Chains A and B, each alone.
Chain A
Amino acid sequence: MILAAAPASPADAWLERAPVLLRDALTGWLPDALRPWVAALLSIATILGVFGLLFAYMTLAERKILGRIQNRPGPNRTGPFGLLQPFADAIKALTKEDIVPRAADQVLHFLAPVVLVALSLIGLAVIPFGRNLVAVEMEASVLYFFAAGAATELAIFMAGWASRNKYSLLAAMRALAQLISYEVPLLLSVVPVIVVAGSLSTTDIVAAQGGWAAGLWPHWHALTPWGFSAFAVFMVAALAESNRSPFDLPEAESELIAGHLTEYSGFKYALFFMAEYLGMAALSAMAVTLFLGGWQAPLAVLEFIPSYAWFGVKLLLLLLGFIWIRATFPRLRIDQLTRLSWKFLVPLALVNLINGGVWAATADWTGAAAVVRWFISALGVVVPFIFLARSLSAGYGPRTYRYASP
């Protein structure tokens, strides 16, 4: 039995190659000319299927975890433990009447959600889910991912503009201001990873994070000082890009403006909802690829678990983090939000750029020099953090209170 024989290297363990074997089995009987096309279709189908299901069960997981944090069960009436809730929501969204305001610009009004969902899905093409499970192998795949991400702003503008409603236009402008001001730290925090990994292709970046120091400490970027700071900046920017918790300004109910989604209902509204979750999943997947070593196993001994399982675990952990943060933090005001980006995240990312460069330059230091290298890098993170933190939280702080003399 193949399983019994210890596999020569983790790469060719049976479970590891299962998806590739499956694909070859399915496309084997086709003429050679058609084979790449069908393979591409297959990978598209799997990505859509997996991430569609992930979206469905992420909505349920969010409501269950939020409930549990708030000492209540969360949905448990539809199906056992509420497992059929996503499908119930889908049916509700489908059956809801789809009202389109008469004054709205029909074409754009319809196009906006479609474009938004398409763009969130396109980005998933370049993410390596497993050892050789990447849909499209490209040299500049990271740049491709962020080009697709940058276009989502356009779709939000279309949504805001097409509803022909003064408030949704103002809300769209605020949402765009938020997205644009967080696009910059998002991109800047990725640059040091590219500098250290030496390539723009996601598979090379994941390969660069392989191997473990003494079998215990993986070479993931997030576990190096500069990498941790870049990872933190990336996650905060990802939170803002996908309009999640501390930055979910556009559809904040306490805001005067009800957000650029006011004129949408029924399935189109569900599409926006889906786009938000898919955007969140795509950004988390990219974070896993860039910082958490993609499909690399955390410990050498754990290598036998297939690579795509590791990718799934890390992705789910990150998504859990998104939900956890949403349950805990209040919302930031629009001016604080942009100030946080321009006065804290961007400078931090710029300094981190230099830090990453130094790290790449001193790649060949070993032994005692490696410790010095770590120390320099750690210093490069902590010192600017303290200065920027002090300037950001000037005027805020816990207070002491006195009591009235009777």
Chain B
Amino acid sequence: MLGKGLLQGLAVTAKNLVGSYHDPARYVTQEYPEVQPKLPEAYRNFPFLVSETADDPMGTLRCVACQICEKECPPQCIYIEKSKDKKPDANGKLQIYPAVFAIDTAVCMSCQICVEVCPFDAIKMDQEFAIAATDRFDGLLLNREQLAKPNAYYHQIHPTEASEVDARLAAERRAAEEKARLAAAAKAAAPKAAAPTAAAAPGVPAASASPGSIPPPGPPPSSS
């Protein structure tokens, strides 16, 4: 019969009209400013640099300016300049730090390749999407100070991922300390076996050397 399809179509739209008043599946609009979107944990926008503690973001950046992310970034939007001097990192080891670390967010397509290739977990993806700048060039060129955010913030936006990263880092740190202690013990044991007489002399420098040459380890890593 000619009109059957048309009537079926009308029935569907009527069902939706009525449905939109009582069935949440048929009323999907979230009115944005009032209703904030609940972002999935994996959501990623522009990257940010992770710093160990919140109070001294510049001092405790994890980034060691290895420039792998600069090479691997497909649109080449990261610019790094190595520092001349060194700075102890979380494990107390002296590391270079980035004097200049700039990301041109106008070019960055938040593809998170930099996060993937970074061996030091120094750069992670942010979740802040409501970004505005008054100037297209300098306004969107974020420098080191603007990029650095504390690890606590990282825990806040990517909880599970952050805890995995911290667990892994803690494990590495323990392994590094374990290895360091073994090396130290081995070094201490080796001179004793070679010359028991010289034991007293080297013992003292060893004892004094150990504290002297290795500066006191930096503030204990923030409790994860």
Interface size (B, Cβ < 8 Å)? Answer: 18
A70 to B19, CA, bound (A): 10
Instruction: Name the segment of B22-30, B80-88, B93-101, B104-112 touching the other chain.
Output: B22-30
Within 8 A of A (CB), among B1-49: 1-2, 6, 9-10, 12-14, 16-17, 19-21, 26-29, 31
The reply to whether A71 and B10 form a contact with Cβ atoms under 8 Å apart is no
Residues of A within 8 A of B27 (CB): 71-73
Does more than half of chain B's interface fall in helix, strand or loop, or is it mixed? helix
* Bound CA–CA A392/B17 (angstroms): 31
CA distance A155 to B9 in the complex (A): 35
Contact A71-B29, Cβ < 8 Å, known A389-B1, A393-B2: yes
Q: Mark A318-356, 1 if CB is under 8 A from B, else 0.
A: 000000110111000000000000000000000000000
Contact B2 A72 (CB under 8 A): no
Asked if A94 is an interface residue, CB under 8 A from chain B, the answer is no
Q: Which of A68, A72, A328 contacts B9 (CB 8 A)?
A: A328
Knowing A70-B16, A389-B2 touch, does A328 contact B28 (C-beta < 8 A)?
no
Query: Interface digits, A59-73 against B, CB 8 Å rule (1 contact, 0 not)?
Result: 000000100111111
Q: Are B28 and A71 in contact (CB under 8 A)?
A: yes
Q: Which chain A residues border B6 with CB–CB below 8 Å?
A: 328-329
**B-side contacts of A324, CB under 8 Å:** 10, 13-14, 17
Contacts of B16 in A (CB 8 A): 68-71
Using Cβ atoms and an 8 Å threshold, which residues of chain B touch A71? 16, 19-20, 26-29
Which residues of chain B come closer than 8 Å to A70, judged between CB atoms? 16
Q: How large is the interface on A (under 10, 10 to 19, 20 to 34, 35 or more residues)?
A: 10 to 19
How far, in angstroms, from A392 to B6 measured CA to CA in the complex? 15
Contact A392 B9 (CB under 8 A): no
Contacts of A386 in B (CB 8 A): 1
Contact of A69 with B28 at beta-carbon distance under 8 Å, contacts A328-B9, A329-B6 already known: no
Q: In the complex, are the beta carbons of B29 and A325 less than 8 A apart?
A: no
Q: B179: shortest Cβ distance to chain A, in Å? A: 59
Q: Mark A376-393, 1 if CB is under 8 A from B, else 0.
A: 000000000110010011
CA distance A386 to B6 in the complex (A): 16
Residue of A whose beta carbon sits closest to that of B29: A72
B2 touches A392 (CB 8 A): yes
> Could you say which residues of chain A place their CB within 8 Å of the CB of B14?
324
Q: Is the CB–CB distance between A325 and B20 below 8 Å? A: no
Q: How far is the CA of A35 from the CA of B21 in the complex (A)?
A: 50
B residues near A327, Cβ cutoff 8 Å: 13
Question: How many angstroms from the CA of A325 to the CA of B10 in the assembled complex?
Answer: 7
- Checking A72, A328, A389, A392 against B13 with a beta-carbon cut-off of 8 angstroms, the contacting residue is A328
Residue of A nearest to B9 (CB): A328
Q: Could you tell me the distance in whole angstroms from the C-beta of A284 to the nearest C-beta in chain B?
A: 17
Q: Chain B: which residue is nearest A325 at the CB level?
A: B10
In the assembled complex, the CB of A125 is this many whole angstroms from the nearest CB of chain B, namely 33
**B16 CB, min distance to chain A CBs, angstroms:** 5
Q: Report the bound CA distance from A389 to B2 in whole Å.
A: 6
* Residues in B whose Cβ lies below 8 Å from that of A385: 2
Q: Report A347-406 residues with CB < 8 Å from chain B CB.
A: 385-386, 389, 392-393
Q: Is the CB of B2 within 8 A of A69?
A: no
Given A329-B6, A389-B2, A392-B2, do A69 and B13 touch, yes or no (CB 8 Å)?
yes
Q: A389-B1, A389-B2, A393-B2 are known contacts. Are A68 and B20 too (CB-CB below 8 A)?
A: yes
Bound-state Cα–Cα, A386 to B1, Å? 7
Return A173 CB to nearest CB of chain B, in Å.
29
Q: Are B17 and A69 in contact (CB under 8 A)?
A: yes
- CB of A327 to closest CB in B, whole Å: 5
Q: How far is the CA of A205 from the CA of B13 in the complex (A)?
A: 35
In angstroms, Cα B14 to Cα A327, docked, is 10
Q: Which of A71, A389, A392, A393 is the most central at the interface, judged by chain B CB atoms within 10 Å of its CB?
A: A71
Residues of B within 8 A of A393 (CB): 2
User: In the bound complex, how far is the Cα of B2 from the Cα of A68, in angstroms?
Assistant: 28
Q: Which residues 187-202 of B sit at the A interface, judged by CB distance below 8 A?
A: none
Q: How far is the CA of A389 from the CA of B1 in the complex (A)?
A: 7
Please name the residue on chain B nearest to A393 by beta carbon: B2
- Cα of A309 to Cα of B80 in the assembled complex, Å: 77
Given A72-B29, A389-B1, A392-B2, do A328 and B17 touch, yes or no (CB 8 Å)?
no
Q: How far is the CB of B27 from chain A (nearest CB, A)?
A: 6
CB closest chain-B residue, reference A327: B13
Q: Which residues of A contact B21 (CB under 8 A)?
A: 68
- Whether A69 touches B20, Cβ cut-off 8 Å, given contacts A389-B1, A389-B2, is yes
**A232: nearest residue on chain B (CB-CB)?**
B3
The answer to whether A329 and B9 touch across the interface, beta carbons within 8 angstroms, is yes
| Bound CA span A329–B26, Å | 20
Collect the chain A residues with CB atoms within 8 Å of residue B13's CB.
69, 324, 327-328
- Could you tell me the distance in whole angstroms from the C-beta of A76 to the nearest C-beta in chain B? 8
10 closest A-B pairs by CB: A389-B2, A72-B29, A68-B20, A328-B13, A328-B9, A69-B17, A69-B13, A71-B26, A68-B17, A327-B13
Given A65-B17, A71-B27, A328-B13, 6 other A-B residues pairs in contact with their CB atoms under 8 A: A68-B16, A68-B17, A329-B6, A385-B2, A386-B1, A389-B2
Query: A residues touching B (Cβ–Cβ < 8 Å)?
Result: 65, 68-73, 324-325, 327-329, 385-386, 389, 392-393
Q: What are 6 contact pairs spanning A and B, CB under 8 A? A: A68-B16, A68-B17, A70-B16, A72-B27, A329-B9, A386-B1
